[in-house]
Structure 1
Amino acid sequence: MRTGEPLPAVEQVLASLATGLWHWDTSTGLVRVDAEAARLLGLPAEEATLTEPQVRARLHPVDWNEITGVVQLAAAESTLAEVRIRVMDEQGRIVRIVRSRSKPSFDRQKRAYELIGTLQEVTEPLPGTSVNRSTVTGDWRRSREAFLLDAGRALAEARSTAEVLRVAAALSMPGFSPDGLAVFGVSGDRLTVIGHHGHRPGDEGPFAHMSLDTAYPAADVVRTGRAVYLPSPDEYGRRYPLTWPLAQQFGRQSWAFLPLTVAGRTIGAWMAAFTYPVAFTPDERSVLTTVARMLAQALSRAGAAESERELTDGLQRSMLPTLGPEIPGMSVTARYIPTGGGLQVGGDWYDLIPLPNGRIALVIGDVQGHDVRAAGLMGQLRIALRAYASEGHRPDAVLSRASRFLHGIGHTGEDPADVRFATCLYVEVDPVTGLAEAARAGHLDPVIRMPDGTVLVRSTAGGLPLGIDPDSDYPTTRLALEPGEVMMICTDGLMETGGHNLDTGWTRVRRILEEHDSDLDELADLLVQAVHGPSSHHTTGPLADRREDDIAFLLLCRQGEGCGCGDAVAVRAPVRRTMLTVAQAEPERIAVARRHLRDLLHDWASQDQLDSAVLLMSEMLTNVLVHTDADALLVAEVTGQDRRRLRVEVTDTSDDLPHKRHPGELASSGRGLVLIELLADAWGVAPRGEGKSIWFDLYEGDGSGEPGESGEPGGSDGFPGA
């Protein structure tokens, strides 16, 4: 240039050097490029303003993600952001590699970055060309990407602080791997050593509980939130002369101290020490910074998870009862499995309450929701139920009072949409006789497993869930627990976990109950494992780690042969029995009775006989509802071993005896007794004080049994042919 001529524009100078200029403002999401930068990006060689998606479409997706990390690192360290970028064409092929250098600035009010930088094409070394260890080549880049993916996956899967430290110690960075690691935490105004690797036990002593005001790299990092890179011992000694003697003894040549930052807060520092000199190029710093971010997130997650587990255990211990002293003639066990995620607490609970009359009350319930409020309401409701039960109230009165109580505390008025209710099953059991009285508030029915493996759902009368209507009524149902039988009460999570609904989940649980031949604790463990796999937490028994819904269940066994829950009685329980009341206002319970009978005869040899039994029982129940004003009590029992007998008996309080009729061809009724006489091996009608009962027998096999063969009362009191 001649003296006095104007200086050429910056763009012209850069263009002569095949270097483009660009400007990126993340607050607007726009990138301005000059003609040379546009050419390098594979666009027409003219100035343009592009959106971020337009620029991202021209770059390799991995490199675009890397730019964000490099920019944040450079802004935090007040250094240049340098990164190599692969430019792609419309077919996704790499057309060139460019180097980007920029000086980022961060606007805290806009929370956005502004960058002005250059683009220049670079040439990758040919295959087989010798390069320095720290040079960023295509092979090194690919190794780094694979390393970061593997490291991120491993750290994300670590579930405790100890696991995070083990993963960090095993990391092998591409081209430069530290042989000494330390993770520092913060406690008040002092450093703590969370863990270390590559040092002898006790070496951390001088660094533990070090004041944050100490001239030590990790303390500087925690105070300022900026990384410290020390590429040589001379640099370490020059910048930190007071603490250099502490580090000198380990014989390292380079050190990197990086902040562990989560949500803008520095929670500690990570030290990576090397036995050989490391220049800490921008790419090496980028790898270290990325690892530090992932390590900070992993430590934060692990710390939160450990705190939550500790809180969960405390809540479980405080809210769930112990099962108390042994119950004569009974065995009992229970499990509580909280839902996965969050604090792992919810509204499911169980309880075992000693009553003033010498009986015991079994309680299972589920407060709506899987959060802390649900757990709090559950605790209050459990205490209220205990109080009402201890006052000596009957099951229906206990649930009525509990519903009124929950209606008062579950309707806070703060958020009309956040109204909580609870389902509950309350069963009062006499340990001596095995008689039980159940009241149900919108909950699942109890399940009975008989000594021979037969499993029945005991249908019980019920009312609305607790807390919906303070004046709800909860009718009671009487049950009988025979020696050797096991009663299970549970929440719906036991059925529905694992993608099941109530029907498919019940099929799974029923199979386990039928095949059970061990004690109650082993049965409980089998149920847990079937739902969730091997378990590792404990409250009253093994719990699973990952869950979809809270689960609570309680098993009660009346001791006897075949239950595996305690001392066996001398004689095996001879009867398989089910009982059910069908009220005049509940004709739909006839369908429930049919299901009960089919469950009772699940292993009956003849399907035709089973169908006949269901038909005859339906006729008998229907006759009571149609021809009397009374309710019907159904008792069905199977006795015997080699040639079993089924007896079905329906009792009502009406004195009107049935009469055999001869209906015409077009008659719509009058065939009930005709069918019984044709299909049953024996049948009859017997007075029962106030009321009567009608019964029939079926013998398993060829149906050749003689009427009245069993010797049961009623055979001689029936109609001719009985």
Structure 2
Amino acid sequence: MADRGASALSLPEGWPVHPDPILALNHMGAFDWDLDKGLFHMDAQAHEVFDLLPEEFDGRAESLVVRVPLSEAARLDALVSQSIKEGRENYGAYFRIRCRDGTPRWTHTQGYIRRDKNGRPRRVVGIVRDATQELAESAARSARAAQDEAFRQQTNIVQVVSAALAHARTVQDVTDILKDTHGIRRLGAASFVMGLVEAGRIRLVAEAPAGSFVPASQVNRIDEPYPMSEVVRTLTPRFVESPEEFAEEYPLLWPQITHLHVASAAYLPLIAQARPIGVMGLLYSDRRGFSEEERGVLVALGGSIAQSLQRAMFYEQQKDLAQGLQQAMLPRTIPSVPGADIAVRYRSAALGRDIGGDWYDVIPLPGGRVGAVIGDVQGHDTHAAAVMGQLRIVLRAYAAEGHTPAAVMARASVSLHELDTDRFATCLYAEADLSTGVVQMVRAGHVDPLVRGPGGCRRVPVAGGLPLGLSAEFGGVEYPVTTFELDPGDTLLLCTDGLVEQPGADLDDGMRALADQVCAGPDDVDELADRLIQPAEERGGDDDVALLVLRRRMPETGRSCGRLQQHVAPGDPESLTQARHMIRAAVRAWGAVERADEVELAADELMTNVLVHTEGAAIVTLRSLLGTGSRLRIEVEDSSSALPRRRDAAWDGVSGRGLLLVEMLADAWGVEARGSGKVVWCEFRLDGGLIRGPTG
């Protein structure tokens, strides 16, 4: 073991190899530069790098200018001088040479500075090598890296744009996202245009910047020789890669876009369910050509836009249908009501199908009265709208029949329950006598109304019952009536909870805020309604909003300055006597002595007719109306639906002359339905003014 360990290993012949063959194998040449004498020695490989024959080089550094351009030589000299001055031991640089045949060649050199013991530079030894392929490969890698980075950025932009398009609900939303400077522009496009396909034509819907759409018309046929028309016809993307291709392929288009400085363009068909719904064009001013990856990205972008666009178009179609259905369910017009200014507003929900169960209605009633309704059916869909439409008709019919507000609400609740629907509804119904200002209101689970007067705006607490439908289901259809008065100039506001309720906020706070808005609002009802609905439109929300504004004004036909009422029971002579005394005293107190007997006689005839022919009670109401023609009005209400008939009595008959006598004494008379009963009324002119003739 010791002998073997001590024996020397046999070394290969010529080992280690001389460095010159190693350099040659790596296509490197060596040089030795004597700085004192200016001699520059190169080996054979170095001569090949500089493309020089040995006999062509005299051994001096300055003679290399035959291959090294002066600018490159000056740069190398400056580099070497700077390295020597700074005391560095080595330097390196890439430089260009000009080969024998005139072609350029990139070369790399690396030198080592040798100094004497005093630090003075004496020699530079080093290597030179052909770096053309190395730099070409590096440039290719850099180009690929730049291309990969550009592709990554484009892919990222497609993802960002697609994410933004996911929230687009309308066609306008889609175009706004595409026109945004952080969207399509970041893909490198200088401008873009987009059109929708409609009835064989392309209609412009977006362009950025303005004037990017060519030709200048807003609508083009699909059969025209333009790239947008072509991609719609062929359902194939069209990439125009140079101005020359533009001019050759689209000679009609090119002269119209030269001012845009277009270098290339991509036109993408927007296809949904195998049919074109639109087309988009991206115009570039600083690029030519499209790689396969870039084309794939743009096609993917077109697919994402097409899906969003189709979704937006479906949404707008549904919205138009929903709004049409909603408008059909709501009153077409609000009737003109003497003695009141009325405005209504409706805003649909921002979610769902933009349709819901909120509604309003205005119902003209006999005797200068008007019914005002505001309601909200549970839900935000077509079912809610359908129930709302039926309920609105039911309420209107019961009110027009003359039922009391409590009866109107109770019957509507029963009708909703009988519809066999799972929906319920909240509602406010107000019956206002515009001649007296008396308002009778019933509430079914709804928010209270507001009244604005000279002293400010107040919330009117209205006694209420269960929502419509629920009250009938649970057997509680009794709705208490709250009575209050509107003075001339007072404004009544009815609204649904969407106007006052906000997520996470208290209803009372919302009502107080609404009262402040009403108090600070304009007197004109239309301006006030616009002011109140505007915040709801701006904030959107997932609930409908309906409101009704009624302002009592001075009726053109007069105003009430007095109102008396008396209940006359059958078989009670005392109550009849009291009613006569009430009428006589009131007429004299109101300064109508000259017609007191006529008024008393007509009222007596009407009360007697009720007691004799209906076997029920009578309610006698006497009103004094002042204005354009002062009048006294008598109303006698009973519970019979049978209408009185005017007939001619025989000369010896004892009945049949009551209505003839009323017609002769009064200046006007008539009959109005009132719930299950009726009201017979007559009026007397007090100041000689002209009033209307009899109505029935």
Report the TM-score, using the length of structure 1 for normalisation. 0.49
Amino acid at match of 1:556: L
Shift of 1:434: 1.2
CA distance in 1, matches of 2:406, 2:187: 73
Amino acid at match of 1:440: R
Amino acid at match of 2:448: D
Amino acid at match of 1:505: G
1:64-117 CA distance string (max 9 Å, x none): xxxxxxxxxxxxxxxxxxxxxxxxxxxxxxxxxxxxxxxxxxxxxxxxxxxxxx
Task: Kindly indicate whether the alpha-carbon contact (under 8 Å) linking 1:261 and 1:293 is maintained by their aligned counterparts in 2.
Answer: yes
- Tell me if 1:203 matches 2:211: no
CA distance in 1, matches of 2:340, 2:497: 25
1:480 is aligned to 484
State the secondary structure of the residue aligned to 1:366.
Answer: strand
Amino acid at match of 1:339: A
Shift of 1:148: 4.4
1:719 is aligned to none
CA distance in 2, matches of 1:176, 1:388: 65
CA distance in 2, matches of 1:255, 1:185: 19
Shift of 1:395: 1.8
Amino acid at match of 1:512: Q
Residue of structure 2 aligned with 1:377, choices 387, 400, 409 = 387
Residue of structure 2 aligned with 1:496, choices 492, 496, 501 = 501
Residue of structure 1 aligned with 2:442, choices 439, 442, 448 = 439
Shift of 1:361: 0.3
Task: Kindly indicate whether the alpha-carbon contact (under 8 Å) linking 1:420 and 1:467 is maintained by their aligned counterparts in 2.
Answer: no
- Would the alpha carbon gap of residues 126 and 432 (structure 1) be closer, same or farther in structure 2, given more than 3 Å must change? farther
Which structure would you say has the larger Rg?
2
Amino acid at match of 2:540: R
Task: Kindly indicate whether the alpha-carbon contact (under 8 Å) linking 1:444 and 1:492 is maintained by their aligned counterparts in 2.
Answer: yes
Amino acid at match of 1:404: V
Shift of 1:265: 5.6
Amino acid at match of 1:407: H
Residue of structure 2 aligned with 1:423, choices 423, 426, 437 = 426
1:458 is aligned to 461
- Would the alpha carbon gap of residues 402 and 227 (structure 1) be closer, same or farther in structure 2, given more than 3 Å must change? same
Q: Which moved more, 1:378-387 or 1:446-455?
A: 446-455
1:550 is aligned to 544
1:123-156 CA distance string (max 9 Å, x none): 9x99999955994254x46754664466457656
Shift of 1:201: 7.0
- Would the alpha carbon gap of residues 215 and 200 (structure 1) be closer, same or farther in structure 2, given more than 3 Å must change? closer
State the secondary structure of the residue aligned to 1:496.
Answer: coil
- Tell me if 1:245 matches 2:256: no
Shift of 1:330: 3.0
Residue of structure 1 aligned with 2:352, choices 311, 322, 342 = 342
CA distance in 1, matches of 2:317, 2:274: 21
Q: Which moved more, 1:515-524 or 1:396-405?
A: 515-524
- Would the alpha carbon gap of residues 203 and 437 (structure 1) be closer, same or farther in structure 2, given more than 3 Å must change? same
Shift of 1:356: 2.7
1:285 is aligned to 295
Shift of 1:427: 1.2
Task: Kindly indicate whether the alpha-carbon contact (under 8 Å) linking 1:323 and 1:352 is maintained by their aligned counterparts in 2.
Answer: no
Amino acid at match of 2:492: M
Give the number of aligned pairs. 420
Shift of 1:380: 2.1
1:268-320 CA distance string (max 9 Å, x none): 33222445653211442244234424433443354345434544543443333
Residue of structure 2 aligned with 1:333, choices 343, 349, 359 = 343
Task: Kindly indicate whether the alpha-carbon contact (under 8 Å) linking 2:443 and 2:462 is maintained by their aligned counterparts in 1.
Answer: no
Report the TM-score, using the length of structure 2 for normalisation. 0.51
1:181 is aligned to 192
1:392 is aligned to 402
Shift of 1:428: 0.9
Shift of 1:355: 1.1
| 1:290-689 to 2 correspondences below 5 Å | 290-321=300-331, 324-411=334-421, 419-453=422-456, 455-466=458-469, 469=472, 473-483=477-487, 484-513=489-518, 515=520, 518-529=523-534, 531-532=535-536, 543-544=537-538, 546-559=540-553
1:697 is aligned to none
Task: Kindly indicate whether the alpha-carbon contact (under 8 Å) linking 1:133 and 1:175 is maintained by their aligned counterparts in 2.
Answer: no
Task: Kindly indicate whether the alpha-carbon contact (under 8 Å) linking 1:185 and 1:269 is maintained by their aligned counterparts in 2.
Answer: yes
Task: Kindly indicate whether the alpha-carbon contact (under 8 Å) linking 2:157 and 2:187 is maintained by their aligned counterparts in 1.
Answer: no
State the secondary structure of the residue aligned to 1:245.
Answer: coil
CA distance in 2, matches of 1:277, 1:369: 55
Shift of 1:365: 0.8
CA distance in 1, matches of 2:470, 2:272: 42
Amino acid at match of 2:491: V
CA distance in 2, matches of 1:218, 1:517: 52
Shift of 1:469: 2.4
CA distance in 1, matches of 2:272, 2:138: 41
Gaps of 5+ in 1: 1-122, 412-418, 533-542, 572-722
- Would the alpha carbon gap of residues 196 and 521 (structure 1) be closer, same or farther in structure 2, given more than 3 Å must change? closer
- Would the alpha carbon gap of residues 291 and 304 (structure 1) be closer, same or farther in structure 2, given more than 3 Å must change? same
CA distance in 2, matches of 1:353, 1:291: 55
Shift of 1:423: 1.7
Shift of 1:352: 0.8
Amino acid at match of 2:483: L
- Would the alpha carbon gap of residues 345 and 558 (structure 1) be closer, same or farther in structure 2, given more than 3 Å must change? same
Amino acid at match of 1:548: D
Task: Kindly indicate whether the alpha-carbon contact (under 8 Å) linking 1:446 and 1:489 is maintained by their aligned counterparts in 2.
Answer: yes
CA distance in 2, matches of 1:206, 1:405: 53
Shift of 1:373: 1.5
- Would the alpha carbon gap of residues 391 and 126 (structure 1) be closer, same or farther in structure 2, given more than 3 Å must change? farther
CA distance in 1, matches of 2:457, 2:366: 33
Task: Kindly indicate whether the alpha-carbon contact (under 8 Å) linking 2:498 and 2:543 is maintained by their aligned counterparts in 1.
Answer: yes
State the secondary structure of the residue aligned to 2:251.
Answer: helix
State the secondary structure of the residue aligned to 2:290.
Answer: coil
Shift of 1:520: 3.7
State the secondary structure of the residue aligned to 1:352.
Answer: strand
| 1:50-199 to 2 correspondences below 5 Å | 135-138=146-149, 140=150, 143-144=153-154, 147-148=157-158, 151=161, 161=171, 164-165=174-175, 168-169=178-179, 177-179=188-190, 181-187=192-198, 193-196=204-207
1:356-411 CA distance string (max 9 Å, x none): 33310011111110111111221222122222222222223322332233233343
- Would the alpha carbon gap of residues 175 and 392 (structure 1) be closer, same or farther in structure 2, given more than 3 Å must change? closer
Shift of 1:339: 1.1
Task: Kindly indicate whether the alpha-carbon contact (under 8 Å) linking 2:424 and 2:469 is maintained by their aligned counterparts in 1.
Answer: yes
Task: Kindly indicate whether the alpha-carbon contact (under 8 Å) linking 1:442 and 1:463 is maintained by their aligned counterparts in 2.
Answer: yes
Amino acid at match of 1:456: R
- Would the alpha carbon gap of residues 374 and 280 (structure 1) be closer, same or farther in structure 2, given more than 3 Å must change? same
CA distance in 1, matches of 2:218, 2:338: 61
2:628 is aligned to none
Task: Kindly indicate whether the alpha-carbon contact (under 8 Å) linking 1:439 and 1:474 is maintained by their aligned counterparts in 2.
Answer: no
- Would the alpha carbon gap of residues 447 and 460 (structure 1) be closer, same or farther in structure 2, given more than 3 Å must change? farther
- Would the alpha carbon gap of residues 303 and 134 (structure 1) be closer, same or farther in structure 2, given more than 3 Å must change? farther
Amino acid at match of 2:251: P
- Tell me if 1:227 matches 2:233: no
CA distance in 1, matches of 2:187, 2:510: 53
1:270 is aligned to 280
2:52 is aligned to none
Which structure shows the higher helix fraction?
Answer: 2
1:233-280 CA distance string (max 9 Å, x none): 67779xxx9x64344444555332323244676423322244565321
Shift of 1:226: 4.4
- Tell me if 1:256 matches 2:256: no
2:74 is aligned to none
